[in-house]
Amino acid sequence: MTENVTKNQRTFDPLSQGRKLEELYDDLSPNKKAPYKKFPNGGHINKEAIDQRWEFLIEQGLEQNTALYANEDLSAYEANIENCIGTIKMPVGIAGPVRVNGTNAQGDYLLPMATTEAALLASYHRGAVVISKAGGCSAVLLSEGVSRSPGFIFKTIADLAGFSHWLLMNKSKIHEVAQSTSNYCQLIDFKMITEGNHLYLLCDYLTGDAAGQNMVTIATQAVCEYIIANAPVQPEKWFVEANCSGDKKTTAQSFSGVRGKKVSVEVRIPEKLVKRFLHTTPQHMVDCWRISALGGVTSGAVGTQAHYANSLAAMFIACGQDAACVAEAAVGVTRFEVCDDGALYCSVTLPNLIVGTVGGGTKLPSQQACLSLMKLPHENQARAFAEVCAAAALAGEISITGSIAAGDFTHAHKHLARDR
């Protein structure tokens, strides 16, 4: 990583000003003289445990804040957090509804979003209305699979080759072992990626209506233990995850394939609707999209899109998803074109929607309430939710591009955020 020299100087000059070099070294050296007291950790969320943690904070000179904890019963959160001291509140708003004509989602869906960013809901609401006025967006779930990538270290490449051959000869048994860990976990397939005497086993699973991160970790642990117990050629070391799966990070591998659920959505918006709701023209929006897409490529972005993370983060928090998965979910491709009849064609493809409607944070009271607002179908619920998430991202791409093309992007944020 490189930094501009002028930026470095602006950062370090105030740090060193008025201090000798020895003093700067002393400030940055390990401090083993000051006493250290560990926070009272644990998974219990009863009143006694939480009061004990607040006693620790009060000893540190802090005051108990009733905005975080007012002696309420927090037992509903016990399976979701450790070291709990209370809860926070975020505003939740509704955008839409957005009409989705999908392979799993069919109907008009409200979009619950939790955010502290003013103007966000207004933008997504406008995009959702435009899509719905045009008859809705078409949504197709193209592929799915949640991956985990254990890594094996061998003494030689010859050992790696013998180990790989055994894996291929025992694929069916490996599938059985994985599936035995859960009624909903199914190992679709695995592939091997090698680098010298290192082997990465990229395992792809189906996880039902759960996002499945923990499910696939447990299954992979069982698979690895079976392999180690039975393979005639043994690795020197192995690890249940070797950072080749793309978990919670942007990777070219998952961008070109799938991690979670891959969804494409599209809509054709008549020119009169573009002018009425977005105050610009289809051609002007395409011009704005084109230079933005090339700007993303020039900056080295994976994919070309404006701001998927805004809707995904807001919906993930509201609906009990793993918010850290936005790091991988918020990649994809947005495309705008002018149709022969002058309408605006818009599409979004998201290959990494790690979402679920059971398990994890979806069990919490507020998050369950937000999911219930969406009235998702009973069958293939997580797949429908993924299509709705993609529709929300499409609404955001349409609205922000229209706002920038019309020249009212800055005014909207100033009016709805700073001056409100």
Q: Going by DSSP bridges, is the β-strand pair 260-269/344-353 parallel, antiparallel, or unpaired?
A: antiparallel
CB 74 within 8 A of CB 48: no
Catalytic residue check, 117: yes
Domains of the chain: 38-89 (no CATH), 92-143+262-418 (3.90.770.10), 150-239 (3.30.70.420)
The reported pLDDT for the residue numbered 13 is 67
- Type of residue at 160: L
Q: Going by DSSP bridges, is the β-strand pair 332-338/303-304 parallel, antiparallel, or unpaired?
A: parallel
Average pLDDT over residues 361-389: 95
The Cα-based distances of 215 to 184, 208, 324, 356, 361 in angstroms read 9, 10, 17, 12, 14
Q: Which of 322, 337, 408, 415 is catalytic?
A: 322
Token pair recorded at residue 410: 């800055």
The reported pLDDT for the residue numbered 11 is 66
The reported pLDDT for the residue numbered 417 is 67
Range 48-56, long-range pairs (CB < 8 A, 24+ positions): 49/84, 50/74, 50/84, 50/85, 50/86, 53/83, 53/84, 53/85, 54/85
Calculate the average pLDDT of the chain: 92
Distance CA 111, CA 94 (A): 5
Q: Which of 117, 241, 266, 337 is catalytic?
A: 117
Out of 4-13, 88-97, 247-256, give the one with best mean pLDDT.
88-97
Catalytic residue check, 415: no
| 235 class by beta-carbon count within 10 Å (0-12 exposed, 13-18 middle, 19+ buried) | buried
Q: Which of 125, 284, 307, 413 is catalytic?
A: 413
Average pLDDT over residues 314-334: 95
Q: What's the half-sphere exposure (Cβ side, CA atoms, 13 Å) at 366?
A: 18
Token pair recorded at residue 352: 């990494």
Grade residue 25 by pLDDT with cuts at 50, 70 and 90. confident
Q: Indicate if the pLDDT at residue 107 is higher than 70.
A: yes
DSSP code for 362: G
Buried b (16+ CB within 10 A) or exposed e, 248-273: eebbeebbebbbbbbbbbebbbbbeb
- pLDDT tens digit string along 128-181? 999 999 999 999 999 999 999 999 999 999 999 999 999 999 999 999 999 999
| 407 class by beta-carbon count within 10 Å (0-12 exposed, 13-18 middle, 19+ buried) | exposed
How do the residues of the chain divide into helix, strand and coil, expressed in percent and rounded to 5? Answer: 45, 20, 35
- Type of residue at 406: A
The Cα-based distances of 114 to 44, 123, 387 in angstroms read 27, 14, 19
List CB contacts of 291: < 8 A, sequence separation 6 or more. Answer: none
Q: Indicate if the pLDDT at residue 269 is higher than 70.
A: yes
Distance CA 14, CA 37 (A): 32
Distance CA 113, CA 121 (A): 7
Q: Indicate if the pLDDT at residue 16 is higher than 70.
A: no
Token pair recorded at residue 280: 């610009």
Average pLDDT over residues 75-85: 92
pTM here is 0.92
| 78 class by beta-carbon count within 10 Å (0-12 exposed, 13-18 middle, 19+ buried) | middle
Distance CA 268, CA 346 (A): 6
